[in-house]
Amino acid sequence: MKYASFLFVSILLFSASCSDKKSLPQATGRPGDIFLIMDSLQWKGPLGKVIDSLFSAEMQGIPRKESIFHMRWIDPRKLNYVLKQRRNLIYAVTLDQRSVGASQIKRTFTAESLQKIKADSNLFSQNIQDLFAKNQEVLFLFGNTEHDLVKKIRTYGAKLVNHFDTRERERLTEALFKSKQSKGIPDILRKKFNSEIKVPFGYQLVANDSNFFWLRQINPYTDKDIFITRKKYTSPDQFKPDSLIAWRNEICRYNIFEDPERFETYLVTETSIPYKPVLTKEITFNGKFAMEMRGLWRTNNLTMGGPFVSYAFVDEPLGMLYYVEGFTFSPSKDQREIIRELETIIYTFKTSSELAPAKQ
């Protein structure tokens, strides 16, 4: 069953909105916000609950409770020009719902589209970019019955969340690297590691040697860090969580300190909190197999701590296992978007086979 077969939503309806993208306003709203447009009865019922629980689930790997996205419900009857310009919109409706709000959403579909929805129960979603505003993401969720759509969302929910997460990272990539980038740092990494990473303006190189590279941005409110390390790849066992945690602890023990004059202030992986475990999962990182790890860190003297996210993958031509991590110390701030920023920077990392030829 395909996740998305989407070429049937009203071309006539949407072409009017998208015919001249240059004239569209810029999408508005904060990163991580999603506006959900659906009938009030369905919002209060199983469909609304499953959508809300999916996108408002707690983000893993951060100290305080923060949702993956901040979701706000909008009654279709109150949807206006301003709300249509929000950066992330989700429309949800089922054909068995005949309320005023549901009928209003169904009017956005042509008769042909509605017939295709009735005829093919595999069809349940449609994503469109730049529908009412530039840099906007709109997702339509639909089905014959509420029961069917709830079932589909439960089955493909992770992909729906990942879709919006990817779009937020794409927007953040554009914003981070639209202005100046830190010069010289990528050249050092390329020379010493035969790899590359984009460095936003404001990040400084703290340390670099043959197998350790540390970037840092400090301001009065946050301390954002990225470090890169590597070693010879010898076995798939190196991807096991215990092995990665041990490697991380070894690197931090000898390289990262709260106070460089006090060796007992080194960083360790927090593994003693049962309800905040280190979480790992296999992913595809820029086309390569990788192990993602999320969790908490603390200093050995228990004076500081915070969240981290990391990715381990192999540069096959070099036979090297890379570990790239972003961590932050920002105790007075929400940390969801900080982690997203660190993820965005890490995703610009390129191994030797991905590098463009050096300019002569």
pLDDT at 111: 87
**Fold: same for 11-176 and 185-354:** no
Which pLDDT belongs to residue 285? 96
pLDDT above 60 for 6: no
The pLDDT score that the predictor gives to residue 15 is 37
Q: Is the model's pLDDT at 105 over the cut of 70? A: yes
Beta-bridged to residue 266, according to DSSP, are 257
Q: Please give the pLDDT value at position 177.
A: 87
Residue 11 in this model has a pLDDT that exceeds 50: no
Percent of the chain with pLDDT over 70: 94
pLDDT of 13 strictly over 90: no
Fold for the domain defined by 11-176? Chitobiase; domain 2 (3.30.379)
Considering only 21-25, 103-107, 192-196, which range has the smallest mean pLDDT? 21-25
Q: Is the pTM of this model over 0.85?
A: yes
Which parts of 46-136 are beta strand (E)? 70-74, 88-94, 125-129
Helices (H), the chain: 11-18, 40-44, 46-55, 100-106, 111-119, 146-176, 185-193, 241-255, 336-346
CATH superfamily for 185-354 is Mog1/PsbP, alpha/beta/alpha sandwich (3.40.1000.10)
Tens digit of each residue's pLDDT (9 = 90 or more) over 169-190: 999 999 888 877 777 888 899 9
**Strands 88-94 and 33-37, bridge-based pairing:** parallel
pLDDT tops 70 at residue 130: yes
Lowest average pLDDT, out of 7-11, 184-188, 342-346, goes to 7-11
Report whether pLDDT(284) > 50.
yes
- Residue 359 has a pLDDT of 58
* Both structure tokens of 10: 């009203």
Q: Is the pLDDT of residue 222 over 70?
A: yes
H helix runs in 40-99, sequence order:
40-44, 46-55
The two three-digit tokens of residue 279, written as one number = 């979480």
pLDDT of residue 12: 36
Domain regions of the chain by residue span: 11-176, 185-354
pLDDT band at 265 (very low <50, low <70, confident <90, very high): confident
Report CA torsion sign: 93, 96, 102, 106.
positive
Mean pLDDT of 138-149: 95
Backbone angles phi, psi at 341, to 5 degrees: -65, -45
Can you tell me the mean pLDDT for 228-236?
Answer: 97
pLDDT at 302: 81
Using CA of residue 308, residue 314, residue 317, residue 319, what is the dihedral sign?
positive
* Rounded Cα–Cα distance for residues 214 and 255 (Å): 9
* pLDDT of 8: 41
16 compared with 302, residue with greater pLDDT: 302
Question: Cβ-count burial of 325 within 10 angstroms (0-12 exposed, 13-18 middle, 19+ buried)?
Answer: buried
Can you give the pLDDT at residue 7? 39
**Residue-level pLDDT at 358:** 62
- Mean pLDDT, residues 21-33: 91
Cβ 101 vs Cβ 38: under 8 Å: yes
Instruction: Identify the pLDDT of residue 4.
Output: 41
| Residue 167, phi then psi, degrees to nearest 5 | -65, -40
Q: Is residue 63 scored above 70 in pLDDT?
A: yes
pLDDT value at position 264? 84
